[in-house]
Chains A and B, each alone.
Chain A
Amino acid sequence: MLDVITNQNFLYNVFGGFTHLTWQAIVMIIIGGILLYLGVAKDYEPLLLVPIGFGCILANLPLTELIHVPRELFVFHDGVREILSSTGLLPLQEGVRLVDQGILDVLYDAGIGNELFPCLLFIGIGAMTDFGPLLQNPRILLLGGAGQFGIFLTLMLALVLGYDKMEAICIAIIGACDGPTSIYITSKFNPSLLGPISVAAYSYMSLVPIIQPPIMRLCTTKKEREMSMSYDVLKPVTQTTKTLFPVVVTIITLLIAPVGAPLMGTLMLGNFLRESKVTGKLVKSAENEIASITTLFLGLTVGSTMNGDVFLTVKTLGILALGFIAICGDTAFGVFGAKIMNIFSRVKINPLIGAAGISAFPMAARVVHKVGCEANPQTYLLMHAMGVNTGGQIGSVLAASVMIAIITTLQIMQLIPM
């Protein structure tokens, strides 16, 4: 009996968890706990923050070997790199460890490394989105574009602050206020930042009702906020237009930015399923089962990339600060975009609806309606804001696609590293 207890393997197996617990791991477990608290007790995006928080706790408990982060320091048994290294074709770098895959490694490779999960989620988002309000008043699509300027402002700021080009792009895309797009771009160009960026994107998305109203009030006068908008000017949209819209948008946008195909293609596929009215079962699955399963796996895996060594850096604090600026910038640019539109347009719009030009759907539109209603109860902005909001959704995917296209071109021209 004594032999068993004094055996080092026994001690390692029973107490290893305690002896290997680092301060970084403890801090990360607390952060995971805070995310769980925000999701469960405060109802902030619980569907996302709960799996992310739990994933963070799981991954930071020592010796669990569920996932290996940062991934470039590990090679997996039966992986292609192992085979290449055994044949001498690919020498393993110094410091790289050969390990067995954990279950979260499998999920990471299945859906994050190859960007599959965000795209599956986009089918669901497309199936849930009604582009009707946008089609009734197509000029407000421009406001969906104006709302994306925060992305470019943050890109400049991040570059000035000394982040490298790839990091700056991934940080800036938080400004789209769109979780799946942020995850897609980051896993494509800088997977090591996946943890901080997705946490920033999802946290700010859930804080839209708190972050946006003060900025909206700051950028408008009371008179502007009180302005009511009629629904008489909106012409009803035929079902044929709604059905053709996703097909036409897919073809046009992908001819402009082919590399955006995974994002735009899946978003519009989902919307076509909805509007074609003949694939009810598929729409239901896309909206419910596929979206729920993907959200669970996506959240869990993203949370598990929040390794203390990678997450607890000054860089992460910078990312959180810049993400905040990005969303404030989007809101302000959207409002001013609407004001500029009023200078040139005969039919005036309430500038508040410009603030809905981000991708947080339908939250941003609801926030606009509430702020408008506070200023003047006779102002019913919801449907107008919904149009801008769907415009913002297309805008953020388009902005991401254009960004991917530019970066890929620069990489091919070897102006920036692959």
Chain B
Amino acid sequence: MSVAVNAPMAGKLLSVDVKVGDKVKKNDPVATLEAMKMEIKVFAPSDGTVASINAEADTNVDPTTVIVTLD
């Protein structure tokens, strides 16, 4: 079952910190956002393997944006 990791809040996506095929555990950081001049880590909601990266760095994101998908 694939799990979509959405941006937790509106902000700018600074970087995606994983690659397709990377294995991640629950609460591992997968991306970095900037909101209100603060860097915020986005953590994996569950264990899995990164299936796809769906957002680009330096773009504005909001809670409807999927950043990565886990398998």
What is the CB-to-nearest-CB distance from B26 to chain A, in angstroms, rounded to a whole number?
A: 9
- Contact indicator A232/B63 (Cβ below 8 Å): yes
How far is it, in angstroms, between the C-alpha of A365 and the C-alpha of B37 when the chains are bound? Answer: 12
The number of chain A residues with a CB under 8 A from chain B is: 13
Q: A379: nearest residue on chain B (CB-CB)? A: B8
Task: Name B9's contact: one of A362, A377, A378, A383 (CB within 8 Å).
Answer: A383
What is the CB-to-nearest-CB distance from B62 to chain A, in angstroms, rounded to a whole number?
A: 9
- Contact indicator A231/B63 (Cβ below 8 Å): yes
Task: Name B35's contact: one of A377, A378, A382 (CB within 8 Å).
Answer: A382
Does A369 sit within 8 A of B, measured CB to CB? Answer: yes
What is the CB-to-nearest-CB distance from A128 to chain B, in angstroms, rounded to a whole number?
A: 11
How far is it, in angstroms, between the C-alpha of A398 and the C-alpha of B52 when the chains are bound? Answer: 50
Cβ contacts A373-386/B at 8 Å (1 or 0 each): 10001101011001
How far is it, in angstroms, between the C-alpha of A378 and the C-alpha of B63 when the chains are bound? Answer: 14
Residues on A with C-beta less than 8 A from B41 are 373, 377
Chain B residues 29 to 65 lying within 8 A of chain A, measured CB to CB, are: 35-38, 40-41, 43, 45, 63
Q: B37: nearest residue on chain A (CB-CB)? A: A362
Given contacts A232-B63, A377-B27, contact A369 B40 (CB under 8 A): yes
Residues on B with C-beta less than 8 A from A373 are 41
Chain A residues 39 to 70 lying within 8 A of chain B, measured CB to CB, are: none
- Contact indicator A231/B8 (Cβ below 8 Å): yes
Q: A385: nearest residue on chain B (CB-CB)? A: B36
- Contact indicator B38/A380 (Cβ below 8 Å): no
- Contact indicator A383/B35 (Cβ below 8 Å): yes
- Contact indicator A382/B43 (Cβ below 8 Å): no
What is the CB-to-nearest-CB distance from B36 to chain A, in angstroms, rounded to a whole number?
A: 5
- Contact indicator A386/B36 (Cβ below 8 Å): yes
- Contact indicator A380/B40 (Cβ below 8 Å): yes
Residues on A with C-beta less than 8 A from B37 are 362
How far is it, in angstroms, between the C-alpha of A382 and the C-alpha of B8 when the chains are bound? Answer: 10
Given contacts A382-B35, A383-B9, A383-B35, contact A377 B40 (CB under 8 A): no
Cβ contacts B9-33/A at 8 Å (1 or 0 each): 1100000000000000001000000
Does A81 sit within 8 A of B, measured CB to CB? Answer: no
Does A366 sit within 8 A of B, measured CB to CB? Answer: yes
Residues on B with C-beta less than 8 A from A383 are 9-10, 35-36
What is the CB-to-nearest-CB distance from A48 to chain B, in angstroms, rounded to a whole number?
A: 18
Task: Name B43's contact: one of A369, A378, A386 (CB within 8 Å).
Answer: A378
What is the CB-to-nearest-CB distance from A86 to chain B, in angstroms, rounded to a whole number?
A: 56
How far is it, in angstroms, between the C-alpha of A385 and the C-alpha of B62 when the chains are bound? Answer: 17
How far is it, in angstroms, between the C-alpha of A366 and the C-alpha of B36 when the chains are bound? Answer: 9
4 further A-B contacts with Cβ under 8 Å, apart from A369-B38, A383-B36, are: A362-B37, A377-B27, A382-B40, A386-B36
User: Which of B's residues lie within 8 Å of A, judged by CB?
Assistant: 8-10, 27, 35-38, 40-41, 43, 45, 63
| 4 interchain residue pairs of minimum CB distance | A380-B8, A377-B43, A377-B27, A383-B9
User: Which of A's residues lie within 8 Å of B, judged by CB?
Assistant: 231-232, 362, 365-366, 369, 373, 377-378, 380, 382-383, 386
CB pairs A–B below 8 angstroms (21 shown):
A231-B8, A231-B9, A232-B63, A362-B37, A362-B38, A365-B36, A366-B36, A369-B38, A369-B40, A373-B41, A377-B41, A378-B27, A378-B43, A380-B9, A380-B40, A382-B35, A382-B36, A382-B38, A383-B9, A383-B36, A386-B36
